Structures are given as structure tokens and as C-alpha cells.
A and B are shown apart, each in its own frame.
Chain A
């Protein structure tokens, strides 16, 4: 019988990140997957990052994870979204070559010490006195471990719909993992049902690119990883086309044949990523919708038409796709489909992603009701780090909303649960101005180093950057200008006689570093990228200062721990509904309780009063 510290089941984005993180932490780690060749496959659109999502990738990278570096290696078109808006809401995004991405992920995994990849199907868990202690494979082999991380995506009662045709499976072409799914179902975990969809895949050689608008990448591509500075491979453009009235007519006429509108689907789909049927029904007055034609790879003719996911029958798909400009003669390589699946209500999880009622078992990724590679990867990392910590008997690490998008996501999931597939947005982060993609390393690399998941090499790079930032900051602080001197450089400030530092002036709109450098030549010692970073810090410095009170209030509430087994059901005076919600999400701090959906001030007061009472009772 083999023994590991941590077993990860599943080789998707959550699984790879979890296994790599656990191994980085020094845990002897096994990754169990059906096909090693499918590790790191992008099963939906061929892109990484975006708004909120790009932030997550940066944070994964700051903790020395896989996704950022793999995406840089595979990136064939880089765009910084919201480039014209402030840095807090800029999100790096890239089209990725599917093959290169898989290859990069697999290369990183095989280069990682402590990590063993096992091909096989996990069919059951080994349970010791209520604690999950390993898995049993299809061939009967048993692997024991201190902790098991399950990252099985959409395999729980996964059902694929193409029109009225249905087949079981977690992903097109993959057989469903029935025994383990049955085992999970038997655990009696709270489950919900969601759906998502994909568009048909097109043969790029049959698209009339010449008549279509094209969208190139940025002139100065921004990488995901803090250790990279330029793309690795040739860059390409995406195409843009639009649906039209005829497209909409075809879809409308065939709505009843769509799995969604034919009543075949019970799962809830994401509002931010509607199928083309949804778009046409819900926004009936729109006569056209944008479609991005995204190449899936440099040597792959497959094109992913982003914006027209569907569950219509194949013949209708062909009809409506060919009604779109530039796609008149297109060949469909694989039909679009909708998939519905069960997820585990993430309120059953601790903030470490361990199941509250099944110690030793961690869940990460789509099984927790999220969508997206980035959300999955970030959860994998959290589960991997915590499983490794638990395996060595160390205290868990909980990421706070105050310091990371990872913390925002985990907190949202475990306290509020999900009602549609959960996707990251920048608006979910109340400390958005501090939680920027550009400073993810400043926020997290130090923490990661202390935890033990950041390599020496990255730690050195980070230390160099930090000392350059500190030196630059002190130069900016010591360069002082009177209002007159500032005016002389074209910087308009109040003529109040107050001297202002170069750092303070950088926070003014329209003030550029170059202006200050001209006025104070010693600032020329600051390298351009360091100056840029300091300018981003300066822009928000005043706002962040003002948010400190709020951050402290949250910290105070975070310090009000709600003990395990706190009996919410016994709280007199709460509505049954609220009692149920609290009992389900079992908030672990007063701060989390405050974010439970529908919570009222009175309810919070009640909890606090109860906590105080218990505290008094203990101290008495």
C-alpha cells in the first residue's frame, strides 16, 4: 500500500494547482487522474485572465503557482483589460494555445519534486474513524494519505445536452466517473444543480477572415507572472463578428428544440455568460450580439466563437452559425452543448476548503459551484497549501478579504454559498483599490514565503524588487516641493505654503513621474518599472488610508471567533430562514456571519450577545 501526505484527485486547473502547491510545501503528493495526457486541458474557452480573474492569476503567481507561468508560455494574444481605467481595475488577459498550455502545465508538474502522477480512477475513499484517509483506485489499489483533495469538476451527475439529446459525462469525450460520484452522493452533502454551456467549435480554415474586423493584442503585452516580461511565442489576432436578425430568427424559431427552453434542463446558469438563446429571449430588442472568434492555437485550426454558447440541436447550430457574417461556409468541428451538474454547497466547507463534516477531505474548483479556470486554480492552491499544513499538523492558513481576491472568493463561497456559477468580479472586493493585480506580489509573496510555498528563486527576485521599491519610495518621500516649485513644473496645487513630497504629488491626477524627475534629478535613480509601481501605489494612497478604519472594523469582527458547534438553531428570536442559513454556512467569525445573505443587524447583535455571554460564562 502506498502512502502520501496529500492525494489530489483530478488533473484540471484546481487539481494541478493543488498538487503543485502541496508539493511546493514539501508534502509528498500524489495526483490521481484518468489520463495524464489530459492534465491542464482547457475545456472551455482558450483564454486565461480578465477582470477579477486576472487578479486571481496574479495572486496564484505571487504564491509561486502554476497558472500564471503556464499562461505566459502559452499566450498568443495579450490584452490588459480596462487599460484606460485605473490600475485597480485593470485585468491581464491572454488567449492561450491549448496545446502549449497543457504542455507548460505538465512540464511544471513533472519538474516539481515531491509530486507523483498516478493514472487511474479513484473509485472510493478510505475512511478511518470518520476521517478521510486515502482513496481506492479502480484496480483495487489503496493509497493512503493524511488529506485528500477532490477536484472533480462537473462529474457529479454530469449531463450533457445537445438539443433533446442527452448523454452522461463531465466533459465532452470524457467518460463519467460513476463510482466516486455515487460515493459522494451517499455522503449526504448538501447539493445544488448548475448548468453551463459551450459554443460550437469552428474550423478556422473555413472562416472568411478577410471581411471580418480583427482584434490584435496590446503593443506592449503585459504578462501574468511576476517573473516574466515578454511573450514566449508568436502573437496572433482574434476576429470579431456579429449575429444578425436572421440569426435571431433561426434561433427563435427553434427555441423549443433547445435543451434549455425545451424544458430539459433544471440547473441554474450564469447570468453573466448567457447562452445565445438566453440573449435573444431576454434582450429581445437587441438586433445584434458581438462574437469573438478566438483561435485555439498556433498550429490548430480550431476557433472558439465566444458569445454564442448553445444547447440547440446540431442542425440548428449549423444554420444559425452560417447566418453570421464571415461564417457563411464554416465547418463545425464539434457542436456546442450545455452541461448540467451537481455541486456541493460550499457553505459545507471551512475557509481551508476542508469539508466541515468530513475531516481530511478538501474540495476545490467547479465542484464548489464556481466557474472558470482562475477560480478553480485559486481554490486548488488554497486547498493544497492547507492540506499540506494539516498533514504536518500545522495551523491552517486563512486568506482574508482584506488582502486578496483569493480571500474574497473563499469567504464569499463558504459564507454566502452560490446561486449561480460563481465567477470573480473586481466589484466583489470591497478593498479593490488595495487588491490590485499589479501589487499581488507585495500582498502575498511574503506570506507564501513564510508558509513555505514560494521557491528561493522567486523569493530572491521578490526581495530585490521590494528593496528597489523601498529605496524608490524613500527618494520620493524626501524630494519635497513648495507649492511654488510645483507650479513652476506645471503641477497645480493649493498655494497653501505646504511642502509636498514627490510621492504625495504623484497621487494628483495628471502628474507624471517624468515631471518630478525633471524637478528632482536624484529621482532618475529609480528604474522605470519601479517608478510605475510607485505611481500606482501613490494614486490610491489617500483612499487606502481612509479605508483603514473599515479594514480594522473587519479585523475586529474577524477576531470574534464563533466556536465550532455554535448552535445557531438555538438562537431565540431569529427567523427560521435565517437560522437555517447560519446553520448551513456555520460562519467561523462574526465578520463572516455579517456577510451571510439576508443577515440583519439584530441577528448579528444576537450572535454577538451570545458570544459575549459565553465569554462571560467562561471567565466567570
Chain B
């Protein structure tokens, strides 16, 4: 197979960028740029040369075929993250004979073709690459290590047992199987159904860990939301000015709060709109705020929230620098109370993340829903009596199938398309 290469880390300005090569010519290609190679699996500092010019000084790591991510010969170049440097190295690689830029998902596909990953692992890996923060990494690692497979196998075993009990009354009707299997069948179905429903509840939280939580900051115009956001983010993300109604759209800032990926939304000020554009801004702010995982209401002394806070929502006193309030008070301008607010948001979101199960994808939710429906149908047929036993068995069979779909036992074709489509270049 030919040798492919691509930028494996995120595009754009960064401290370090990683360029990965895979294929039988990977080492030779790097040797031609670097002159010599370090021992496999040992990082070595090398100058990368193009003719007489030094392109960059890079950390080079080689992996032997059979002991690499793709199963093929692999090399990684950790170069300085400047866009110009990366482009120069990629260009130099592209000019080498037998090398070409990888297609989207091609590294993973190769890993798959070399049997380096099973399907659940591939999905877990996709998440791992996307993981920006520690919690995401942990969850992705759980899927990779087969937690999903083990959980599903447990449920499957119980349902198979229930199905086998029913089947015994069907296929061995003429023999000595007088025991009433219904109580055990119902107990098994109920047990698995309870676990499935629990898992579905955790599913929402798991999805959040993967995609990141959304926290909306709400308050009247000029209550200091943008200033607060800037203080949280530590950079000028939203324009702040003293004129009410400056933020006319929803501004998002993605950040890491205590290991969780959080997108903080700065919303338009909540008041009667003065013009159409502001009106649209307010409507959008309200929609996003309602859909967010957590709302932080930034209030002046006499303010009442315009939408009702729910659950864990935080109500904080804004502009603490202008005169103390009670309870949680912050000032974006002086930084007063910001640490406490961050701690509070982190505490709430961490509690939710802790409830996250092992299922993280929409596909999982779909399969669980199907399984639960099928089990409910099986349950009601079991209760209708022995003359409907084949229908009860059918319900269990489709529940088992739905669970198997979860770990990729069937419908490989679809799953593959989905997986390969969701991969970008070089991963």
C-alpha cells in the first residue's frame, strides 16, 4: 500500500503540530528529510532538510509495522506550529515519490483494515481525537477499553436467557418442560429494561461530556454579561461598551472549566427591543438560553429574571465593584467573585458529568430506544398468555438485535459509512 501523510493535529496556529505518515515508505521518507532516524518508539530531535535549507527542527518518533496505530510502518513529526512551517514540511513530503496526502479517515481505515481496532474502538477513537479536555478523554477511553461491549453483553445475556426460556416452551412443547417460565422471563425483562432506562438517562449527560456543556449568561442590557464572559475567558471575546444593547447576537466562547468542555454563551440583553435587529437578538438569546445546560442570571439589585430559573441555575449579583450585594456577587471588571462562580459552575456540571454512562452517540440512543420498545412489546405479549408466545419471543429477538446493533454486530455497512464520514483528514 502506498504511504500517506497528513497533519494529525488541529489546523491553525499552535505550539506544536503533529504530522503523521503511514505506509511502507514512511520511515524512508522521514530519513530523506532528517538524515537519520531515532530508535523506534524513542523521540529524537532532528533537523528537517529540503536540499540545503532547514525547514524546521522537529521531534521525530517512529513506530514499526505491527506495533503502530495503523499497523503499518508509521512516523510522526512534531514540528513547530507555525502555519508556514507546517505547509513547508507537508509540501516537502508531497514531493517525495510514493507519498500522498491522506484522504479523510484513511489512517483509521487502514488501522481497521489491519485489524488494529474494532468498531466500538474506532468510534471511541474518533471521540478521543476530538476530546479537548480531560473528562472527554476519560469517557472516550472507557469506550475504547470495551466498557460498552461489556455492558451490552450483560444485557444481551439476560435477554438471550429470557428468549431461550420462551423458545423452550415452543420448540419442546411435546416434551417434559412443565415449569412455568413466565415469572423468570418477566424478571429478566424487567431487570434489563430498568438498566436500559437508567442508561438512557445517563446518555444525555454523556453526550454533553462529548460535545461540551452550554452555559448561558443572562441579564438585562448592560448588566455586565460581556465583561463577565471576558473575565471567564481571559480574553476579549465579546465587545464590551457602556452602551446598552451592544451584544446583538449570541457570542460563544469555548473554555475548559475544571476539566469539562464548556461553551459559555453571552446573550443579548433581555429587555423590550428598541429595534428589529435587537429584537431578533433577544429572541435568539432566549431560545439558546432555554436550551442551555445551565443559566447564570446576572442581576442588578432590583432585577427579576425574565425567564424562570430552573434547577441548578445560578443567580449572581453583577457589578460587585459598584456596591456590594448579597449572595454570589461578581465583577467582571475587577475579577471579584469570578473564582467562586467558576467553582460553582464546575461543581454543578461535574455532578452531571459523573452520571454519564458509556453510551455517547445518537446511534446508541436510537438502539436503546428500539430495544426498550421491543421489550415492552415482549412483556405485554408474555402477559397475554401462551397462545401469543411466538410474538413475545419476536419482541425479545428484536430487542437483542437492537443491542447487537449497538456494538456493531450487524448493519456494518451503514455503520462504516457513518464512521468514515465523520473522520477528518489525518486522524
Contacts and interface: CB of A to CB of B under 8 A. Distances in A.
B52 to A, nearest CB: 39
Given A85-B173, A557-B413, A609-B109, A601 B119 contact: yes
A277 B121 CA distance: 48
A16 interface: no
B118 A600 contact: yes
B174 A89 contact: no
A318 to B, nearest CB: 25
A543 B378 CA distance: 12
A560 B414 CA distance: 14
Contacts of B387: 84-86
Interface in B391-427: 391, 393-394, 397-398, 401, 407-413, 416
B176 interface: yes
A543 B391 contact: yes
Contacts of A51: 170-174
Given A89-B389, A433-B394, A82 B119 contact: no
A188 interface: no
B386 A85 contact: yes
B241 interface: no
Interface string A596-620: 0000111111101110010000000
A492 to B, nearest CB: 14
A602 B390 contact: no
In the complex, which of the residues B116, B173, B401, B409 has the most CB atoms of chain A within 10 Å of its own CB atom? Answer: B173
A293 to B, nearest CB: 14
In the complex, which of the residues B117, B121, B386, B391 has the most CB atoms of chain A within 10 Å of its own CB atom? Answer: B391
B114 interface: yes
A557 B171 CA distance: 29
Contacts of A432: 390, 393-394
A601 B409 contact: yes
Contacts of B410: 553, 594
B412 A601 contact: yes
A491 B397 CA distance: 30
Interface residues of A, number: 45
Given A82-B173, A572-B115, A604 B390 contact: no
Interface string A113-140: 0000000000000000000000000000
A433 B392 CA distance: 12
B351 to A, nearest CB: 34
Interface in B39-91: 71
A85 B389 contact: yes
A606 B71 contact: no
Contacts of B287: none
Contact of A290 (B119, B176, B397): B176
B384 A609 contact: no
Contact of A613 (B113, B118, B389, B413): B113
B171 A601 contact: no
Contacts of B412: 557, 590, 594, 601, 604-605, 608
Given A594-B410, A613-B113, A601 B170 contact: no
A86 B390 contact: yes
Contact of A572 (B113, B170, B413): B113
Contacts of B341: none
Contacts of B408: 601, 605
A590 B174 CA distance: 37
A85 B117 contact: no
Interface string B87-122: 000000000000000000000010011111111110
Interface stretch (A7-15, A165-173, A423-431): A423-431
B325 to A, nearest CB: 56
A426 B113 contact: no
A606 B112 contact: yes
Interface string A72-95: 000000000110111011000100
B413 A556 contact: yes
Interface string A566-597: 00000111100000000000000010001000
Contacts of B117: 602
A604 B411 CA distance: 10
Contact of A610 (B113, B390, B407): B113
A289 interface: yes
Given A85-B386, A86-B387, A573 B411 contact: no
Nearest to B119: A601
Contacts of B175: 290
In the complex, which of the residues B175, B390, B394, B411 has the most CB atoms of chain A within 10 Å of its own CB atom? Answer: B390
Nearest to A432: B390
Given A550-B401, A608-B416, A613-B113, A81 B390 contact: no
Contacts of A425: 167, 171
Contacts of A574: 115
A601 B113 contact: no
B388 interface: yes
A242 B288 CA distance: 74
A490 interface: no
B114 to A, nearest CB: 5
A604 B112 CA distance: 11
A602 B119 contact: yes
A50 B174 contact: yes
Given A290-B175, A543-B394, A82 B170 contact: yes
Given A556-B413, A605-B416, A608-B413, A88 B390 contact: yes
Interface string A22-44: 00000000000000000000000
A369 interface: no
Interface string B167-198: 10011111110000000000000000000000
Interface string A427-470: 10010110000000000000000000000000000000000000
A601 B118 contact: yes
Interface in B355-411: 384, 386-391, 393-394, 397-398, 401, 407-411
B167 A601 contact: no
A571 B115 contact: yes
In the complex, which of the residues A272, A427, A560 has the most CB atoms of chain B within 10 Å of its own CB atom? Answer: A427
A617 to B, nearest CB: 11
A509 interface: yes
Contact of A84 (B386, B409, B413): B386
A271 to B, nearest CB: 11
In the complex, which of the residues A84, A432, A571, A602 has the most CB atoms of chain B within 10 Å of its own CB atom? Answer: A602
Contacts of B401: 550
Contacts of A604: 412
Contacts of A546: 398
A176 interface: no
A244 to B, nearest CB: 14
Nearest to B175: A290
Contacts of A153: none
Contact of A86 (B391, B407, B413): B391
Contacts of A384: none
Nearest to B173: A82
Contacts of A608: 412-413, 416
Contacts of A572: 71, 113-115
Given A81-B174, A606-B113, A613-B113, A430 B397 contact: yes
30 contacts: A81-B173, A81-B174, A82-B170, A86-B389, A89-B390, A272-B172, A289-B176, A290-B175, A426-B167, A430-B397, A432-B390, A433-B394, A509-B384, A509-B388, A550-B398, A556-B413, A571-B115, A573-B116, A594-B412, A601-B120, A601-B409, A602-B117, A602-B119, A603-B115, A605-B408, A605-B412, A608-B412, A608-B416, A609-B112, A610-B113
Q: Which 8 A-B pairs have the closest CB atoms?
A: A573-B115, A602-B118, A601-B408, A427-B167, A425-B171, A601-B119, A86-B390, A89-B390
Interface of B: 71, 109, 112-121, 167, 170-176, 384, 386-391, 393-394, 397-398, 401, 407-413, 416
Given A601-B408, A605-B112, 17 more contacts: A51-B173, A81-B173, A82-B170, A88-B390, A427-B171, A430-B397, A432-B394, A433-B390, A543-B394, A560-B413, A573-B113, A604-B412, A605-B408, A606-B112, A608-B416, A609-B112, A613-B113
